[in-house]
Structure 1
């Protein structure tokens, strides 16, 4: 508990320093925010344009696909805030900064997460909520008083699934000197989670559910709010999958750290 409180205090310090640094160049900071928002809107426009010609995808309507996409953005944005592992291999392994991390008393994974924190990614959450709001109005969805709580639980669970997968993927860097590793491939696969799994063949559905469970950060939890009872069991399993895969990520990470011998080895 004491160690957790210490990490929280460090997190607050990192957050404070982040905003001091970013706000020193306000135009650059606002430009990044605008580019992130524009990127998400371009993806939304792409979906809308596609569904002008394809009104249904595997029995799913355009607005349902839009709702799933909006939901998909929320856990991904939460993950992006705390797990900026995109340059982990080059920065910490090839440049040797992992040696510095290992000399400090705070857990090494917590340090890596804190050093790559990106609070501006919170606008991905806002974009997702706006997109979901639009689809909700179009679909005339009804919600219960406890649905916001379920939404938070499922969103955080989705972020932990991302965190577990990319923590494990980053840990592979301890065994390889590749600058990018397999992260680009995993990133491409995760995009399949934006769409209903029943539009894919059995192999892809199996991968997205049991191997790289990106379906649990998009279609499965979103299906609950869309009142798709067929997928309720999968939606309910999302927190369980989050605990399992985040746990796997930590185990793989710790194994990788134990095998690390330094930049000069």
Structure 2
């Protein structure tokens, strides 16, 4: 109950702050929509030169992209830790975090909320709806529940991977970071993994499991039966990676010696 109370207190302060700068909020909404539109245009351009991509047609790829946007939006809203190294380790703000009686990771997540990123989830649902109509997909009574489970699993995959990357800063506090490179790699998860070679497919499935954010769970709703078991592994992979990331974080905190050392 204490953590739930803290969440809503941080959320209240966040909303007050963001609503003080409505123009900035509008600009962020617009930039997010523009970025998503550019990625969608890229898909349309690709399929302007071909009818299928390794057995996937245009609307199926669009559906996968729409699904990918939803867990990615949840991740961006609650796991905005891309500058953890620079802000908390190099500048020493992590010392402040450790003086408070609340888990350090939970506190950082609350401090870095960006709920405006959830606009991407609305965009993703709209893209899925458009592609689903064109594909003639039928909605079963259990699909909304599975969708929520898959979205949470996908967001936890992202959160787990990027928390693990942030943990590197506890052992190596150099200003350089792997975050930008990993963001680029994560984009591969928005496309079917069978268009890549076996090595990349293995990495995106078991090492950096970004395929569980987009293509694998989306394949369930597209009726790709050969990938059903991958779909249902999505929450398992997500919870596993997130638990491992928290355990690694706790070990990293023990190694932390302060910004002065």
**Range into which the TM-score falls when normalised by the shorter chain:** over 0.9
Q: Displacement of 1:179 after TM fit?
A: 2.4
Q: Does 1:158 align with 2:154?
A: yes
Match of 1:15 among 2, 11, 14: 11
Q: Displacement of 1:177 after TM fit?
A: 2.2
Match of 2:205 among 205, 209, 212: 209
Q: Displacement of 1:141 after TM fit?
A: 0.6
Specify the SS of the correspondent of 1:53: coil
Q: 1:68 to 1:180 in 2, by over 3 A?
A: farther
2-structure distance, mates of 1:159, 1:146: 20
Q: Does 1:107 align with 2:114?
A: no
Q: Cα deviations across residues 181-215 of structure 1 (Å, max 9, x unaligned)?
A: 11112111111101111111110010001100001
Match of 2:45 among 44, 49, 65: 49
Contact kept in structure 2, 1:87 and 1:180, CA below 8 Å: no
Q: Displacement of 1:54 after TM fit?
A: 2.0
Runs of 4 or more off by more than 6 Å in structure 1?
none
Match of 1:239 among 235, 242, 253: 235
Q: TM-score under structure 1 normalisation? A: 0.96
Q: Displacement of 1:34 after TM fit?
A: 1.4
Q: TM-score under structure 2 normalisation? A: 0.98
Q: Does 1:256 align with 2:255?
A: no
1-structure distance, mates of 2:5, 2:91: 28
Unmatched segments (≥5 aa) in structure 1: none
Q: Which moved more, 1:111-120 or 1:14-23?
A: 14-23
RMSD of equivalent CA atoms: 0.9
Q: Displacement of 1:156 after TM fit?
A: 0.5
Q: Does 1:65 align with 2:61?
A: yes
Q: How many residues align?
A: 261
Q: Displacement of 1:180 after TM fit?
A: 4.0
Q: Displacement of 1:238 after TM fit?
A: 0.9
Unmatched segments (≥5 aa) in structure 2: none
Q: Does 1:88 align with 2:46?
A: no
Specify the SS of the correspondent of 2:174: coil
1-structure distance, mates of 2:21, 2:236: 42
Q: Cα deviations across residues 82-125 of structure 1 (Å, max 9, x unaligned)?
A: 11011110100001000000111000000010000111011010
Specify the SS of the correspondent of 2:47: helix
Partner of 1:143: 139
